[in-house]
Amino acid sequence: MGSILSDIFERMGDFETKPLHKNHSKAVDVVEFPCVHRDDSEPLSIIWPDLKQGPWIAGGACLRWYQCQPVGENDIDIFCSSAEQAQSIIDEIKGYGRYTTKYESDNATTLSYYSKDSNKTWTLQVIKRRYFTSLKDVIDNFDISVCQLGTAGNDWLLGKNTARDIRERNLRMNMPLQPDAVKRLAKYWTYGYRPVDGLLDAVKANPVGKKMFQSNEDYENAF
């Protein structure tokens, strides 16, 4: 027992003590954004999206906000313009010292962030597999029309069919189908969106749609 403890203490000595981040243990100065549900303002105040330069929020979280709902159990997917921007956001979130790392891969870093002032938790997924030139570039990458919406907090950007498909609860996928299309089809069908005429036939006719990714799950889940 004694030798184990001395071993541990010896190893601890090898660790360099990093200075704490300037925001460590602090509460966040929360700013409300017109396109973000009030309950989710805190993580957005850390991410601080920017329409021109990124980062941008798009996909499922925006779909909830657009319908005046908080994100709830959904991830907030954060899309960046560069690896440096992605790392800076990760450091900023971690800097408050209230997080756990849910997943870490080359494709994405997924963190659970806890509020200081309430018992709320958010899942923040910083996408690292690909970087984008604009918010339009981000939403053009989604293959489901109701996911083709994004924001930097103050403006909405929507795809061609997005608003109508949200209102009518249509499940429409852009062609050609991307790998793992069946997985996303099942997901959004379960959320109550109904396949538009011809979609199931298109999936059936397209071998790419049923190809499954095994290793890129976190990135793929973002779309």
Partner 1 sequence: MRSEQSWSLLDPKPVMLYLSNLDEYIVYWNGIATTHLMALNLAMEYYGIFPTPEMKSAMEQNYSKIYYANGFDTRAWDLKVSSSPIYPYVKRLLAEHCKKVIDESGRDITEVLGWFDYSKARKDTQ
DSSP code for 173: B
- Distance between CA atoms of residues 216 and 190, nearest Å: 22
Q: Where are the beta strands (DSSP E) in the chain?
A: 56-58, 75-79, 99-104, 108-114, 121-127, 149-151, 156-158, 170-171, 194-195
Is the previous residue joined to 55 through a cis bond, with omega within 30 degrees of 0?
A: yes
Segment near partner 1 (CB under 8 A); pick from 28-36, 125-133, 153-161, 180-188: 180-188
- 179 lines the binding site for partner 1 (CB under 8 A): no
Segment near partner 1 (CB under 8 A); pick from 40-48, 94-102, 131-139, 177-185: 177-185
Measured from the Cβ of residue 203, the count of other Cβ atoms closer than 10 Å reads: 18
Contact yes or no for 80/86 (Cβ under 8 A): yes
- 200 lines the binding site for partner 1 (CB under 8 A): yes
Q: Which is nearer to partner 1, 26 or 169 (CB)?
A: 169
Binding to partner 1 (CB under 8 A): which residues in 51-80?
A: 72-74
- 159 lines the binding site for partner 1 (CB under 8 A): no
- Distance between CA atoms of residues 125 and 129, nearest Å: 12
Contact yes or no for 36/153 (Cβ under 8 A): yes
Segment near partner 1 (CB under 8 A); pick from 36-44, 90-98, 132-140, 205-213: 205-213
- 167 lines the binding site for partner 1 (CB under 8 A): no
Segment near partner 1 (CB under 8 A); pick from 80-88, 142-150, 159-167, 184-192: 184-192
- 209 lines the binding site for partner 1 (CB under 8 A): yes
User: Which residues make up the interface to partner 1 (CB under 8 A)?
Assistant: 72-74, 182-183, 185-187, 189-192, 194-195, 200, 203-204, 209-210, 212, 221
